[in-house]
């Protein structure tokens, strides 16, 4: 059984408190959208897909206990709460994407054909479907990405470098970039995965390392500052990272430090891939310059009081550095073709 960041049954949501990992495994109840907002803001749950799923399910749990006089009352309530959930963290687009889709869906429920109670259950069912869809999506990402890497590597042992945490803890299960590594491992083709510590929040050393050990994959931890030497000395087959927002020209926001990995990969001729679902694509923005980068509190960085800190949680990797491609559930696309390729699938989202 893989690690489970989200436990859900209708009317009850629990999340694995990622602030306590790896030392303590404790699930906490998320009883409503306010709890959901707080859990996302405090990073008890994190990772773009998991943020959206927990946000929507927290609202689903709140809805379950509520009664509405009319479907349009429910629709106003849901719109207000979804808009609120989007404000918890600004950079990952998945929650905003889900909010837009579910607001549109809740409008379709107000056509008079369903009672308020039935409409509420239809909406809850749609929230619930995110769990299975995310895992199915991640398995496709894993396969497309894994096969692409294998096709480029000939008979060489496969060694993958990844950054941040993109596995079961950041999604409903299987993972995106870590899904690619998992697929290669399942095929018996993974020689070794390297993961960065991912300073300052240490998603790599606390969460990815924990997942890799838990899954018994052959894996090695490095400090972020060791990536250039690693690529110089260790025959890295590919760098594979996740994403928080990919915009229409292919520029990609992901965990701080991704940009420098992409530069180093280009210098060493190592293919650099971004792995993410269609729900991480934001076609409304033309370039990475338009992406809002979250800044986190200085206390996440400091060991000495009195020093000034700058703590951006994400950076933007320019499309031209994504040399391997963007791995989605529909295939692997060069960033320059992403917009036209994904346009074909936009209506499949719900």
Ligand X SMILES: CSC[C@@H](O)[C@@H](O)C(=O)COP(=O)(O)O
> Which residue minimizes CB distance to ligand X?
242
Query: How many residues are there in the chain?
Result: 350
Does position 99 interact with ligand X (CB under 6 A)? The reply is no
Does position 141 interact with ligand X (CB under 6 A)? The reply is no
Q: Quick count: other Cβ atoms within 10 Å of Cβ 336?
A: 12
From the list 78, 6, 14, the residue with the least C-alpha distance to 49 is: 6
| Nearer to ligand X among residue 119 and residue 274 (C-beta) | 274
Piece of 213-221, 236-244, 330-338, 341-349 that binds ligand X (CB under 6 A): 236-244
Q: Which two tokens stand for residue 176?
A: 């995106």
Does position 92 interact with ligand X (CB under 6 A)? The reply is yes
State how far the Cα of 86 lies from the Cα of 184, in Å rounded to an integer. 34
**Considering only residues 145, 242, 250, 257, which one is a binding residue for ligand X as defined by CB under 6 A?**
242
Piece of 30-38, 53-61, 165-173, 327-335 that binds ligand X (CB under 6 A): 165-173
The answer to whether 327 and 148 have CB atoms below 8 angstroms apart is: yes
Does position 47 interact with ligand X (CB under 6 A)? The reply is yes
Does position 166 interact with ligand X (CB under 6 A)? The reply is yes
Does position 176 interact with ligand X (CB under 6 A)? The reply is yes
Does position 317 interact with ligand X (CB under 6 A)? The reply is no
Piece of 44-52, 116-124, 218-226, 231-239 that binds ligand X (CB under 6 A): 44-52
Does position 6 interact with ligand X (CB under 6 A)? The reply is no
| Nearer to ligand X among residue 106 and residue 328 (C-beta) | 328
**Considering only residues 75, 192, 237, 254, which one is a binding residue for ligand X as defined by CB under 6 A?**
254
Q: 317 Cβ partners below 8 Å, 6+ apart? A: 251, 252, 253, 254, 258, 259, 262, 272, 274, 288
3-state secondary structure of 252: strand
Helix residue ranges, H only, the chain: 33-41, 48-64, 71-86, 94-108, 116-153, 177-186, 209-214, 227-233, 258-268, 335-343
State how far the Cα of 310 lies from the Cα of 340, in Å rounded to an integer. 37
The answer to whether 247 and 282 have CB atoms below 8 angstroms apart is: yes
Does position 206 interact with ligand X (CB under 6 A)? The reply is no
Does position 196 interact with ligand X (CB under 6 A)? The reply is no
Query: ∠ CA(345), CA(348), CA(350), 5° rounding?
Result: 145
Query: One of 244, 251, 282, 315 is an active-site residue; which one?
Result: 244
Does position 203 interact with ligand X (CB under 6 A)? The reply is yes
Does position 137 interact with ligand X (CB under 6 A)? The reply is no
Residue 244 is a catalytic residue: yes
Query: ∠ CA(309), CA(313), CA(317), 5° rounding?
Result: 120
Query: Which residue ranges make up the site for ligand X (CB under 6 A)?
Result: 46-49, 92, 164, 166, 170-171, 176, 203, 242-244, 254-255, 313
Catalytic annotation, residues: 244
């Amino acid at each position: 059984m893989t690690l489970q960041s989200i436990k859900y049954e209708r009317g009850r949501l629990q999340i694995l408190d990622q602030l306590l990992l790896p030392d303590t495994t404790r699930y906490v109840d998320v009883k409503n959208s306010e709890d959901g907002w707080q859990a996302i803001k405090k990073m008890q749950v994190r990772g773009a897909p998991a943020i959206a799923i927990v946000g929507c399910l927290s609202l689903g749990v709140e809805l379950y206990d509520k009664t509405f006089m009319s479907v349009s009352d429910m629709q106003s309530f849901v719109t207000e709460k979804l808009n609120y959930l989007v404000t918890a963290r600004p950079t990952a687009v998945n929650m905003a994407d889900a909010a837009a889709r579910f607001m549109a869906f809740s409008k379709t429920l107000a056509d008079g054909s369903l009672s308020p109670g039935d409409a509420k259950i239809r909406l809850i069912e749609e929230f619930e479907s995110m769990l299975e869809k995310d895992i199915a999506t991640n398995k496709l990402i894993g396969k497309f990405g894994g096969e692409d890497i294998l096709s480029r590597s000939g008979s060489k042992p496969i060694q993958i470098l990844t950054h941040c945490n993109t596995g079961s803890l950041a999604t409903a299960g299987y993972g995106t970039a870590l899904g690619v590594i998992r697929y290669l491992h399942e095929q018996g083709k993974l020689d070794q995965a390297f993961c960065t510590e991912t300073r300052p929040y240490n998603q790599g050393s606390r969460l990815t390392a924990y997942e890799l050990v838990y899954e018994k994959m052959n894996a090695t931890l490095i400090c972020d500052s060791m990536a250039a030497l690693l690529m110089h000395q260790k025959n890295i087959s590919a760098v594979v990272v996740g994403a928080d927002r990919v915009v229409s020209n292919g520029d990609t926001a992901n965990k701080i430090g991704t940009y420098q990995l992409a530069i180093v990969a280009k210098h060493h001729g190592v293919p650099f891939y971004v792995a993410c679902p269609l729900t991480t694509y934001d076609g409304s923005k033309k370039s990475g310059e338009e992406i809002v980068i979250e800044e986190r509190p200085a206390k996440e960085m400091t060991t000495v009081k009195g020093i000034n800190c700058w703590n951006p949680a994400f950076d933007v990797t320019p499309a031209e550095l994504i040399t391997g491609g963007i791995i989605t559930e529909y295939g692997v696309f060069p960033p320059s073709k992403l917009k036209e390729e994904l346009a074909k699938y936009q209506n499949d989202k719900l």
